[in-house]
Structure 1
Amino acid sequence: MSLRELAREVGVSPGAPSHHFKGRQALLDALALEGYARLTTALTGALDQADDSLTDRLTALAHAYVTFATANAALLDLMYGHQHESTASGELTAATQRLTALGTQLIERGQRRGEVRAGPVDRLAVPLTAALHGLTALALSGALSPEETEDGLNETVAVLLRGYAP
């Protein structure tokens, strides 16, 4: 989609988007940053509502991630895409790190509480990220129905909890 097409779609003058964005890529980067902010807010909100236990916090984080991701598939694809211009990479890297920090903080907290085995937090976070992103990909591809996605999410959390156990 070009900026001109976007302007027509939202009902503004053809030149209006160019007052805010240098080009199509700058718009896509801004959308990706907004997606990271929205996802981070959704996950933080879910964690804020959860009890202190690793089980409750991991379940809340996992459900919030999959819910957001399946409801915003195109945005998620844009966020994780590698088509961003180099001038935005610093901002996108920081946004990705803020999002990733939620998982590592969950694991660190679990380690402090004796609920997660010892080990490098960044390495322990990889299965969490891979499992949630993989389950989301299966759901978005149509390989899993909504019911299967929910059941699969519950099983994924159970497997992660067993794997993280001391």
Structure 2
Amino acid sequence: MHASYHHGDLRRAVLDEALRVVSATGPESLSLRAIAAAIGVSHTAPRHHFGSRDGLLTAIATEGFDGLADALVATRESGGAFLDVGVAYVEYGTTHPAHFAVMFTPDLLLDDPELTRASERAFDELRGGVEAMSANGRIEDAHAAVVAGWSLVHGLTTLALTGNLERADLTSGRLPDPDVTDLARRAAGMLFGSPT
């Protein structure tokens, strides 16, 4: 049973219910009508804030990219090395699975300037870490390093979220530590070296 919406922030209530649905059944099954029914508002109320299902998914993706960027910036500003930023990416994705699922389904999203701004902000943090290492002479091919770093952290996050790491027995048993963020740190350390 879902809590009915009574007053306050309808936009947030719709987003929260949408995130619950995405977590349970994926972004493709999202329905504005079903969300409205679940929170106890008219079937047209969510359209007032989001326009369409794709508009709602775009708002979720924008919120997700902003959250990811905030996590990456906080890690960097607290003195974290590029490797730590990569671990923060994995941690954000695995603790925000519904956002992460929507963020990387461009065929379900609108061409939206806020989404572009948010995704570029997150990606700039990854690119910035590689550029800093390149300026120090630690990387010769910055473009390839960005692709390699993003592939590693995004792939690991996706493998964890889809249960493939667990099914392949790569989070327990064969490896000493089942923590996916520790695994991210060790794997990224192989690619980019230790933070020290």
TM-score with structure 2 setting the length = 0.69
Are residues 1:118 and 2:140 paired?
yes
CA contact (8 A) 2:62 2:114 kept: yes
Q: Deviation of residue 152 (structure 1)? A: 2.1
**Cα distance between partner residues in 1 of 2:139 and 2:68:** 27
CA contact (8 A) 2:32 2:46 kept: yes
Are residues 1:102 and 2:133 paired?
no
Note the aligned Cα RMSD (angstroms): 2.3
Alignment CA distance shift 1:85-1:69 (3 Å): closer
Q: Deviation of residue 138 (structure 1)? A: 1.9
Aligned residues: percent identity? 30
Q: Deviation of residue 15 (structure 1)? A: 2.5
Q: Deviation of residue 111 (structure 1)? A: 2.4
Q: Which of the numbers 16, 25, 39 marks the counterpart of 2:68?
A: 39
Are residues 1:156 and 2:177 paired?
no
CA contact (8 A) 1:62 1:153 kept: yes
Q: What code does the residue aligned with 2:81 have?
A: R
Q: What code does the residue aligned with 1:61 have?
A: V
CA contact (8 A) 2:84 2:185 kept: no
Q: Deviation of residue 135 (structure 1)? A: 1.1
Q: Deviation of residue 85 (structure 1)? A: 4.6
Q: Deviation of residue 8 (structure 1)? A: 2.3
CA contact (8 A) 1:40 1:98 kept: yes
Q: Deviation of residue 95 (structure 1)? A: 2.6
Q: Deviations over 1:95-133 (max 9, x none)?
A: 32221111111111122334x2233x3332000000001
CA contact (8 A) 1:40 1:99 kept: yes
Q: Deviation of residue 137 (structure 1)? A: 1.8
Unaligned 5+ runs, structure 2: 1-29, 172-176
**Cα distance between partner residues in 2 of 1:41 and 1:151:** 21
CA contact (8 A) 1:58 1:157 kept: no
**Cα distance between partner residues in 1 of 2:77 and 2:134:** 19
Q: What code does the residue aligned with 1:117 have?
A: I
The number of residue pairs the alignment matches comes to: 155
**Cα distance between partner residues in 1 of 2:85 and 2:47:** 37
Q: Which of the numbers 59, 63, 66 marks the counterpart of 1:30?
A: 59
Alignment CA distance shift 1:106-1:19 (3 Å): same
